[in-house]
Structure 1
Amino acid sequence: MADDQDKDSKTEPATEKKIRDSIEKGNQPFSRELPILASFAAIAIFLLFFAYDTGIRLAGFLSTFLERPEEWRLETELDAISLYQTVFIEIARAIMVVMFLLVAAGIAASVFQNMPRFVGNRVMPKFSRISLIGGWKRVFGVKGFVEFLKSLGKVLFAVVFLYFVMHDVDVRLLQGMVTHPLSFGHVIRDLAVELVVTVTIAMVLIAAADLLWSRYHWLEELRMTKQEVKDEVKQAEGDPILKSRMRSLARDRARQRMMAAVPRATLVVANPTHYAVALRYVRAENAAPVVVAKGQDLIALKIREIAEEHNVPVFEDVALARSIFKQVSVDSMIPSHFYEAVAELVRIIHGSRNGAKTGKSHS
C-alpha cells in the first residue's frame, strides 16, 4: 500500500541529473529480447551463407571417417591423439563461424542498447541476491507473474506466426524424401532457413515492443516527487563546482559578446598593451559614449587586434585607459569627468574623416 502511494506521488519526470546518476550506477534500460533476436539473426546469416559449404565439408570428412576406418591408424597412443585432434579440428571448423556470429551478435545487441561501462556495485556480492525469501518474491511476486505472462504471450505469438508460415512443411518433406539425397538436403536447408527467418521476423516485432517498453518502464521507475525535484535544484545551486562552471560559462559568453561589439565601436583607448577600452558614441543612441568592451593583457591585445582589422581608431592614453577600465563597466556610459578627454578623441576622428573627404573632393 505504501509503495502504491509512493508511486502515485511521483508525478514529475526524471531530471537529467537523476538519469545520469542512474546510468553511472549501472541502472540502465535493457531489453532481454534484443540479444535473442540478434542470436536468431546470426543463425539465419549462417544458414543462408555458410551452412551449405560447412555441411558439405563436414559430410565429406565424416564419410571418409566412417566408411573407410582402415585409413586411420590406431596402433599407438600417438595415433589416438592424432585422430582426436583431427576430429576436433574438423568439428571446430564447422561450428567456428556460427559461434563467432553468435558472439558478435550478442555484443552488438548489448552495445546497441547501452554503451558498456564498468560498475563496481553491480558485481559486488550481495547476500540479498541469494536469499530464499527474496528469490521466492522475485519468482512468484507480481513482477515475476508479469514476466511469466510476457513470456507466455511471446511463445503464443511465435507459434501462431510459425503456423501460418510453415503449415505445409509436411507436404514438402514428403516430396523431398522421394527425390535424390542431395536434393533432399537442399529441402532440409530451405526449411531450416524459412523456420529461422520466420522466427527472426517474429522476434523483430517482439524485440521492438520490448525495447520500447523497457525504456518506458525505466523512465517511469525514475520518476520523482515534486519535493525531490526541489531538493535536487537546491543541491545543484549550492554545488560549488557547478557554480564555478556557471560563472566560467557566463564569463565566456560575456567575453564573446564584447568581442562581437568591438567592430561597432567608435574608438579604442589603450595603455598600450595592459588595458584596452572600446567606446561607442552615436549621438542618436546615447547621450554619452558607452563602453562596449574592455579587457586586460591578452583580452586587451585581442580588442586592439579586432579594432585594427575593422579600421576602428586606436588611441594610446595610459591614464585615460586605466581610469575608464577601473571605473566604468561594460554597457555603461562614461561619467561626466571623462567627457572632455573622450570628446577630444572623437573630434580628432571626425577631423581626420572630414580631411579625408575634403582631399577626395579636391582630387
Structure 2
Amino acid sequence: MADSSEKTEDPTSKKTGDSRKKGQIARSKELSTTLVLVGSAAAFILMGEQIATAIFQVTQRTFTLSRDETYDFNHMFQAWGYAFETISVPVLIYMFIALVAGVYGTIALGGYNFTWQGAAPKANKLNPLAGIKRMFGMNGLVELLKAIAKFIVVASMAYGSLLLFQDEALHLDMELYPRNLFHAMELISWAFLMLCCALIPIAAFDVPYQSWKHNKEMKMTKQEVKDERKNSEGDPQVKGRIRRLQYQAAAKRMMQEVPKADVVVTNPTHYSVALKYDPNGETAPILVAKGSDELAMHIRKIAGAHGVPIVSSPPLARAIFHTTEANREIPEKLFMAVAQVLAYVYQVKAFKKGKGKRPPPLRKDLPIPEDMRY
C-alpha cells in the first residue's frame, strides 16, 4: 500500500494559482541566457556592419579635425550630435533585438508572472544549513553537471570555430584597409554566433528538466488534496449539517402553509402533498407542501387538526410529489386529475353545509398520464 505521506497527486488549480502568486513557477536560466546570446549574435550579424561603418565614420571624422575646429566649443557639440545621429540607429536596432530575445527568453517557460511576493526576502534563504543542502543536493549536482557540460560544449565549439576561420584570420593582414577590419568583424560575429549556439543543447535539456522539477515540487499527498477540497468546498459534515438545517427550515415553512391548503392528497403510508387553489385567480393549483414518510404523516396530522380535507389517491400523490416543487404550479398533464379531486372536495364541503347532496366516492382511476406515474 502506498504511503499516505507520499506526494503522488497532481497539484490542484488552487495550489497552482497560489504558487504563481508567490512566484513559484518553472523557469530556465539556461533558456533565457541562450536566447539572449543567440539573439544578440544574430542582431550583431544583421547590424554589425552598419555599427562598424558608423563607428568608422565617426572615428575618421574625429581624426581629421582642423586646428580651428579643435578649439571651437560649438564644433564640439556638433561632433557629439553627428556621432549620436550616425551610431544611434543601428545600435538601437541591435539593442531592441537583444531586448526582445531577453524578454521572450524569460517568459518562454512558465509564462509572464509578476508578483511582489517572489521578490520579498525570505529568512530560510539566509540559513547556511539550507544553503549547504541545496549545494550538495540533487539540484546542486544537476547544476554542476550543466556547468561541466557548458564548458566542454563551448570549448569544443570555440576550438572548432578557430579551425574553421583560421585561414581567413591569418590572411587578414593581406587585405586592404579598411576592408580587413570589416572582414575581421564578420569573422568575430560568426564565431560569436557559433559559441552561442553551442548552448542550445544545454537549454534543450534544462527546459524539460525544470518543468519536471517544478511539477515534482508541486505534487501533493492524498491528504493534502482532501484537506484543500475540504477548505475550498467546505467540510462535508458541516455541509451536511447546513443541508439538514435548510431542509428543516423549508419543512417548517411548508408546515405553516398546510392549514391554508384546500386539500391534502396522500399515499397513506409514504407521501402527502398539500394543494391550494384560488378559483378567482389566474394560476393553476399550487403545491404548498409535500413530504414523505414522517414528514408526510406530520402534514396529515396538521391538516386533520385544521380541518383540511385529506384525500387518498396514491398515484396522484406520487405524481405530484415527484414532478412538482413547493410553491410551484402542478404540471399541465395533471390538471384534469387535480380538478376532479378539488371538485370532489368542494362537493363534500357543500354537503356538510347542507347545500347539496352527498357526492359519490372519488374515482380511483384518475386520468394520470403514463409518463406521470411513479
Q: TM-score range by the shorter chain?
A: 0.5 to 0.7
Q: 1:284 is matched with which residue? A: none
Q: CA deviation at 1:237?
A: 4.2
Q: CA deviation at 1:216?
A: 0.7
Name the CA distance, whole Å, in 2 between partners of 1:195 and 1:140.
Answer: 34
Q: Identify the match of residue 215 of structure 1 among 187, 199, 211.
A: 211
Q: Structure 1 residue 30 and structure 2 residue 27: aligned?
A: yes
Q: Identify the match of residue 173 of structure 1 among 169, 174, 180.
A: 169
Q: After TM superposition, list the pairs within 5 Å mapping 1:262-277 onto structure 2.
A: none
Name the CA distance, whole Å, in 1 between partners of 2:156 and 2:104.
Answer: 29
Q: CA deviation at 1:71?
A: 7.0
Name the CA distance, whole Å, in 1 between partners of 2:53 and 2:284.
Answer: 83
Shift in alpha-carbon separation, 1:294–1:44, aligned structure 2, 3 A? farther
Q: Structure 1 residue 68 and structure 2 residue 65: aligned?
A: yes
Q: Deviations over 1:191-247 (max 9, x none)?
A: 23422332333222211111111011111222233433343344344269xx8xxxx
Shift in alpha-carbon separation, 1:293–1:86, aligned structure 2, 3 A? farther
Name the CA distance, whole Å, in 2 between partners of 1:136 and 1:11.
Answer: 24
Q: Deviations over 1:253-301 (max 9, x none)?
A: xxxxxxxxxxxxxxxxxx989999xxxxxxxxxx99999998999xx9x
Runs (5+) with no aligned partner, structure 1: 1-6, 244-270, 277-286, 301-313, 324-336, 347-363
Name the CA distance, whole Å, in 2 between partners of 1:209 and 1:239.
Answer: 44
More helix by share: 1
Name the CA distance, whole Å, in 2 between partners of 1:272 and 1:15.
Answer: 56
Q: 2:345 is matched with which residue? A: none
Q: 2:150 is matched with which residue? A: 154
TM score, norm. by length of structure 2: 0.57
Task: Name the stretch that deviates more: 191-200 or 181-190.
Answer: 181-190
Q: CA deviation at 1:81?
A: 4.5
| Cα pair 2:38 2:197 within 8 Å, conserved | no
Name the CA distance, whole Å, in 1 between partners of 2:80 and 2:11.
Answer: 61
Tell me the amino acid that sits aligned with residue 217 of structure 1: K
Q: CA deviation at 1:118?
A: 2.9
Q: Structure 1 residue 137 and structure 2 residue 137: aligned?
A: no
Q: Deviations over 1:301-345 (max 9, x none)?
A: xxxxxxxxxxxxx88959969x9xxxxxxxxxxxxx99744459x
Name the CA distance, whole Å, in 1 between partners of 2:123 and 2:171.
Answer: 59
Name the CA distance, whole Å, in 2 between partners of 1:193 and 1:8.
Answer: 57
Runs (5+) with no aligned partner, structure 2: 240-280, 287-314, 342-362
| Cα pair 2:21 2:115 within 8 Å, conserved | yes
Name the CA distance, whole Å, in 1 between partners of 2:283 and 2:48.
Answer: 77
Name the CA distance, whole Å, in 2 between partners of 1:93 and 1:51.
Answer: 12
Q: CA deviation at 1:37?
A: 1.5
Shift in alpha-carbon separation, 1:317–1:209, aligned structure 2, 3 A? same
| Cα pair 2:9 2:222 within 8 Å, conserved | no
Q: Identify the match of residue 123 of structure 1 among 113, 119, 123.
A: 119
Name the CA distance, whole Å, in 1 between partners of 2:49 and 2:284.
Answer: 79
Name the CA distance, whole Å, in 1 between partners of 2:206 and 2:319.
Answer: 62
| Cα pair 1:272 1:318 within 8 Å, conserved | no
Name the CA distance, whole Å, in 2 between partners of 1:163 and 1:150.
Answer: 20
Name the CA distance, whole Å, in 1 between partners of 2:145 and 2:196.
Answer: 21
Name the CA distance, whole Å, in 2 between partners of 1:19 and 1:234.
Answer: 17
Q: Deviations over 1:154-186 (max 9, x none)?
A: 121222233334423222211233123354345
Q: After TM superposition, list the pairs within 5 Å mapping 1:1-363 onto structure 2.
A: 9-16=5-12, 17-70=14-67, 72-76=69-73, 79-126=75-122, 129=125, 131=126, 133=128, 137=132, 140-142=135-137, 143-144=139-140, 146-238=142-234, 340-342=366-368
Shift in alpha-carbon separation, 1:58–1:135, aligned structure 2, 3 A? farther
Tell me the amino acid that sits aligned with residue 128 of structure 2: I
Q: CA deviation at 1:47?
A: 2.7
Name the CA distance, whole Å, in 2 between partners of 1:210 and 1:92.
Answer: 36
- Aligned to 2:20, the other structure's residue is in SS state helix
Name the CA distance, whole Å, in 2 between partners of 1:339 and 1:18.
Answer: 60
TM score, norm. by length of structure 1: 0.59
Max Rg structure: 2
Q: CA deviation at 1:82?
A: 4.6
Q: Deviations over 1:127-149 (max 9, x none)?
A: 555x4836963785444454233
Tell me the amino acid that sits aligned with residue 158 of structure 1: V
Name the CA distance, whole Å, in 2 between partners of 1:56 and 1:118.
Answer: 41
Query: How many aligned positions are there?
Result: 273
| Cα pair 2:19 2:25 within 8 Å, conserved | yes
| Cα pair 1:47 1:193 within 8 Å, conserved | yes
Name the CA distance, whole Å, in 1 between partners of 2:181 and 2:4.
Answer: 60
- Aligned to 1:50, the other structure's residue is in SS state helix
Shift in alpha-carbon separation, 1:214–1:172, aligned structure 2, 3 A? same
Shift in alpha-carbon separation, 1:219–1:317, aligned structure 2, 3 A? same
Shift in alpha-carbon separation, 1:338–1:136, aligned structure 2, 3 A? same
Q: Deviations over 1:1-43 (max 9, x none)?
A: xxxxxx9953403322333322232100100011111112222
